[in-house]
Amino acid sequence: MRAGNLDRTITIQSFASGVDDYGTPIEQWSDVATVRAQIVQASTDEFLAAFGETDKTAIIFRVRWLDGVTTEHRVVYAGKSLNIREMKEIGRRKGLELRCEEVRT
């Protein structure tokens, strides 16, 4: 994976929930890593769903290998939050291909 192709910056976040000192539930996303990435493919699809018209933005990112990333994490790119739907290992832990999706209604 050539460094010149990794021309975007993304942040990988994990969801954490807990209780503060006053007993109030806290649910927040916290940053796990900020990494360089390559956009392999980006597309937007519009379709009719049971609850009305919706569009779905799908972006595939390639990053260097990062241990511990799962579909429970999300990616923040250009101010948008995208859920990780699928991950593929590139080579033998040389990189990851993250298939992410943003759904708007």
pLDDT in tens, 12-63: 999 999 888 998 999 999 999 999 999 998 777 665 555 666 677 889 999 9
Comparing CA positions, the residue from 57, 10, 65, 11 lying closest to residue 38 is 10
- Say if CB 56 and CB 47 are below 8 A apart: yes
Position 82 confidence tier, pLDDT thresholds 50, 70, 90:
very high
**Within 10 A of 83 (CB to CB), how many other CB atoms are there?**
14
Q: Is the dihedral of CA 60, 65, 69, 70 positive or negative?
A: positive
How is domain 3-17+24-104 classified at the architecture level of CATH?
A: Beta Barrel (2.40)
Which residues in 20-105 belong to E strands, given as ranges?
Answer: 25-49, 52-64, 74-77, 80-90, 95-104
Average pLDDT, the chain: 88
The first and second tokens of residue 80, run together, are 């948008």
Q: d(Cα 76, Cα 69) in Å, to the nearest integer?
A: 14
